[in-house]
Amino acid sequence: MEQAIYRELIVTGVDAKDSEDAIRQVGQLFLKEGFVKDTYIDAVCEREKVFATGLELEGISIAMPHTDIIHVNKPGVTVAKLAHPVEFEHMGEPGRKVQAEMLFMMAITNPEDQIGTIMRVLGVFQNKEALEAFKAAETEDELYEAAAKYIG
């Protein structure tokens, strides 16, 4: 599986007013660094309306927005710690809301890698040590260190 974590895709303190604003702000990292096409951000926002990506996990709520491979140039995962929780619809439970504290936005170029990437991210939150490292990270460097160690 290809590298997923890059320092330039790590951000903290994202001050978003809602889930779409969070997706748009975090998606700009992908766009700025050339990982995605200019259609990516709108496509993620539209997909989120149909296929929600919020998850309430043990000790933290996250969202894992992504979209189709046609909008992606290079695979990667943007890890974003939000300044305050933002409401996302729960994945697989329509009508249920979660207060996401972090986004793991994915740019995927190979559909077969999609499940693997999602499982790598979810695996982080089944590991108590990893969960604590992500929650404790206050700077972008600390967040990058945790992401590189536990996601790769």
| Pick from 29-33, 91-95, 144-148: least confident | 91-95
Residue 71 has pLDDT above 90, yes or no: yes
pLDDT at 72 over 60: yes
How far apart (Å, rounded) are the C-alpha atoms in residues 40 and 37? 6
Taking residues 84-112, report their average pLDDT.
Answer: 93
| pLDDT grade for 120, boundaries at 50, 70 and 90 | confident
**What are phi and psi for residue 116, nearest 5 degrees?**
-60, -45
Structural domain range at position 56: 5-150
Q: Give the DSSP letter of residue 90.
A: B
Q: What is the CATH number of the domain that holds 87?
A: 3.40.930.10
Distance in angstroms (rounded) separating the CA atoms of residues 89 and 19: 9
% the chain with pLDDT above 90? 75
Looking at the 3D structure of the chain, how many domains does it have? 1
For residues 34-42, average pLDDT: 98
Structure tokens at 126: 């089944």
